[in-house]
Amino acid sequence: MEKLLYCPKCETARNCRSESREESYDVRGEKVSLMVPLWVCPTCKETIVDEAFGDPVEKAYDAYRKRHGLLPAGDVQRIREQWRLSQVSFATLLGMSQATINRYEQGALQQEKEDELIRACDNPQHMRDILVRRGHVLTERQRKAAEEALEPVRHPFGDADWMSVFDERMPQEVSARSGFRRFDFDRYAAIVVWFSRSVQAVTQTKLYKLLFYSDYLAFRTDAKSLTGAVYRAMPYGPVPVGFSGLRARMEMEDYIMVNEVTYQNGNTGEEFRPGSRAEEPVQVLTDEDLRILQFVRDRLGGLTPSQISDLSHKEAAWKDTPQKQVISYQKAMNLSLALPES
């Protein structure tokens, strides 16, 4: 198949032939290969990408997003606009810069931690929570616009206070899915508080993984999890079910504080720190619990969020579980961490 096209190298029109070639692109140090439809100049062999295909770099970014479970291009703007927030107000609410939100909406490849923050806002329940906790950073007009957008979205519990019924939503089974322990909020909160006090710079991503390793190491050691939490295999690693609601409850009860921080590279994030009532839940931890937590801290506490995420991606518990499905605690037998015999 041929088509008359202007060849930029020959600087004249040529009858170019159609051809598809595998092209490789480097995206954050990873090779992304695409079959790209091209038109080839018969004289100088210059290639022209078929305009119907679009920008190959954007296609490579899309493939990378899919590989790593990041939001597709366009979803950042969709999530923001459904709550009637401007780029500035949405960025302020999330502790980011307006320039960052703008770049992502224009197709720039998002950071994993910021993708998580934005993705969570697709959930009306999470948006209600974040407006309660951080609505004060918006103008009155901006906050009311978001609240009005949320109003038509029916709450899963009707008019009930979702915080008061939260425990009823948590899996209460005693099975391999929960590590043969019924979920215990006090123990869960105690461990979050302990890590927020004992580990430097505990971000949300890092906390997911510290909780996962603690629970599964406890099961590997004593055939029982520490908290009874259920974990799903999400694209960015194991995540406790209902984490956003648990976090909100811990903040409301002043067990933890979540502070905004700005890192040396200019990115912003959130770090977990002990709250004014942090001493209360920690009292439920036993000496054996603390032995496990201290071991996890010593082995993993110094890793960056990216490093501990990469480590969790190598665990059979995550690799062998279909995406978004519950990870059985039976897979803890193959965990890379093991307590030394006492």
Domains of the chain: 2-68 (3.10.20.860), 75-150 (no CATH), 175-334 (no CATH)
Mean pLDDT of the chain: 88
pLDDT greater than 70 at residue 166: no
**pLDDT on residue 154:** 45
User: What is the per-residue pLDDT across 284-309, written as a single tens digit (0 to 9) for each?
Assistant: 999 999 999 999 999 999 998 889 99
pTM of the full structure:
0.56
DSSP letter for each residue of 96-118: --HHHHHHHHTTPPPPHHHHHHH
Give percent of the chain with pLDDT exceeding 70. Answer: 92
What's the start-to-end Cα distance of the chain, in Å?
73
Distance CA 234, CA 205 (A): 12
Which of the pair, 151 or 4, is modelled with greater confidence?
4
pLDDT greater than 80 at residue 267: no
User: What is the per-residue pLDDT across 182-212, written as a single tens digit (0 to 9) for each?
Assistant: 999 999 999 999 999 999 889 888 999 999 9
The CA–CA distances, whole Å, from 313 to 250, 303, 310 equal: 27, 14, 5
Amino acid at site 42:
P
**pLDDT on residue 159:** 39
**pLDDT on residue 266:** 65
Distance CA 222, CA 181 (A): 12
Which of the pair, 3 or 268, is modelled with greater confidence?
3
Residue whose token pair is 């590590």: 179
**pLDDT on residue 181:** 94
Give percent of the chain with pLDDT exceeding 90. Answer: 59
The CA–CA distances, whole Å, from 317 to 225, 248, 293 equal: 15, 27, 19
